[in-house]
Amino acid sequence: MSEERNIVLVYPKTGMDFGSTVAPPHSLLSIAAPLHKEGYRIEIIDQRVDTDWQDKLTTGLNPGTICAGISCMTGTQIHFAIEIAKIIRKATGGKVPIVWGGPHPSILPQQTLESQYVDMVCVGEGDMVFYELVKTLERNGSLAAVKGIGFKKDGKTVVNPPEPLIDMENLLPVPWELINVESYVHPDMYLKSSRILDIGQTSRGCPFNCGFCCSASLRMRKWRAMSVEKSLKAITEPVKRFNLDGVWIRDDEFYIDRDRANKICEQIIREKLNIRWYTSGTRVDVFNKASDKQIAILKQSGAYVLKFGAESGTNRILKLVNKGITVEETVKANLKAKKHDIIPAFALMIGFPTETFEEVNNTVGLIFRLKKDNPKAQFEAMAIYTALPGTPMYEFALQHGLKPPENLEGWVDWNFDEYDLAGKRIPWFDAKQRQMLGNISYMSVLANALPNAIDSINNVFIRRALKISYAPISAYYRFRLKHKLYGFSLDLVLIRYLRKKIFYRSHMRLK
């Protein structure tokens, strides 16, 4: 790498990194795009796929490196991000600034800055924030003039006013040439196609205010979309360039503007892309308002799967979290998807403050009700509510005994799909109840989510062997969930131990 005008960007492991769970590091690609366009040398290192990531990191850092950037979510990724930051510090003698960005530094910029492994943070969307920061660092300018960043000055942390949200029409194309795209092309857990790629977003944000979600604070409840023409280009270009037979569109709310979504679908049909696709989120109430004609166009364009945030099997909890839907609407959406032969994939959550175990059972029972109504229905890992600063329900959680971590390292085990035996994340439940909630979450992974993930492993031999051998295990955990057998289980203790050792703390890769 040249020793002039170069930037090193690193994406840490997230924990469960295999198959189609390993998507391109879009957070890094988006901030790299403006700088790459101007001729800066960008080295993107992905700890999830680069077996020689440490060598690439140390060789990528040189006297010409302007800064090193790390993208980070709350939870396990912090553990690996700190590991990366330590290597950068040692390799550069502290001469290269370490910039953290992503959801966690955005919701807790000041606390993140207090870490010795953080020099600066980008808050919120970093597309132009990071660009301006790099330009300022290159000319030794004043950090106080850069909107949307936090930094240290005279032993204190400083967080500047935010940068306005970017106009999606000004968003640059994904600079695919900066990564080995084949590392992110997989068979898909839902679409059952062989060459699926997460192509990024055609819209950003969400206008709703769900109590558990940080989108409202990060993007100010503003939904912004690319034009139909720009969206179509973002889809067709990688499909043709990489010979894809399917795509994942990462939008939080792709279908919220049904007219725009239908126009994109009509263009996909006209282009004869012959792909299957799905998006990150679709609301059941929005889907229920769609006409049969609109859904037929959606399906004809290749939308074989729609992901729905059902969240709970109890209307009281749905009202508590301000979801804006009812259980009955979820049931209706499931039947509507069945009518149009679209696979619905539902996300559910348990462990809210004031939630009773009767209500938890209702949520577990909703799985089997939806599956009975529609055998093709799929289910993601059942999350355990995990309060985050900046979310609408955070103060409510504090009122019910939550004591959040006081430093960056304390958030390492703040995972929504993990046990909370110590009572740090859900202290409103007693020890026995917390164990049962953890068992439910794990059993949902083992019964539903893991079998789907196995289908996305690239190695055909490993995929088939695991699928055959795992079938009776999956059936066992489905039985336990159905019959509410959530009590202490030695097998889950062992699985939890292995999961932490293999995925949360090691660099093992399963392709």
At 3 the pLDDT is 57
Element (H, E) at 101: strand 98-101
Lowest mean pLDDT, pick from 12-26, 97-111, 374-388, 448-462:
448-462
Between 175 and 508, whose confidence is greater?
A: 175
Instruction: Give tens-digit pLDDT for 324-363.
Output: 999 999 999 999 999 999 999 999 999 999 999 999 999 9
Instruction: Give tens-digit pLDDT for 91-106.
Output: 999 999 999 999 999 9
The residues, ordered by sequence, that sit 6+ positions from 83 with a Cβ below 8 Å of its Cβ are 12
Is residue 232 over pLDDT 50? yes
d(CA 298, CA 277): 10
Where does 18-75 have alpha helices with state H?
26-37, 53-60
Q: What is the rounded average pLDDT of the residues 137-156?
A: 96
Is residue 36 over pLDDT 90? yes
Residue 11 has phi, psi (to 5 degrees) of: -110, 115
Nearest to 250 by CA among 228, 221, 279: 279
Lowest mean pLDDT, pick from 81-95, 99-113, 186-200:
186-200
Q: What angle in degrees, to the nearest 10, is found between the helix axes of 258-270 and 228-241?
A: 40
Q: Which residues pair with 199 in a beta bridge?
A: none
Mean pLDDT of the chain: 93
The residues, ordered by sequence, that sit 6+ positions from 172 with a Cβ below 8 Å of its Cβ are 33, 34, 37
At 1 the pLDDT is 40
Q: Which residues pair with 347 in a beta bridge?
A: 309
Q: What is the rounded average pLDDT of the residues 294-300?
A: 95
Is residue 10 over pLDDT 90? yes
Q: What is the rounded average pLDDT of the residues 248-271?
A: 94
Longest Cα–Cα distance of the chain, Å, equals 65
Q: Confidence class of residue 510 from pLDDT cuts 50, 70 and 90?
A: low
Cα dihedral 502→505→506→510 (10° resolution) = 50
Q: What domains lie within the chain, and their CATH numbers?
A: 6-159 (3.40.50.2300), 184-504 (3.20.20.70)
Nearest to 440 by CA among 313, 300, 320: 313
At 16 the pLDDT is 78
At 456 the pLDDT is 64
Q: What is the rounded average pLDDT of the residues 494-504?
A: 87
Q: What is the rounded average pLDDT of the residues 470-491?
A: 92
Is residue 18 over pLDDT 70? yes
Is residue 398 over pLDDT 80? yes
At 15 the pLDDT is 85
At 357 the pLDDT is 97
Is residue 22 over pLDDT 60? yes
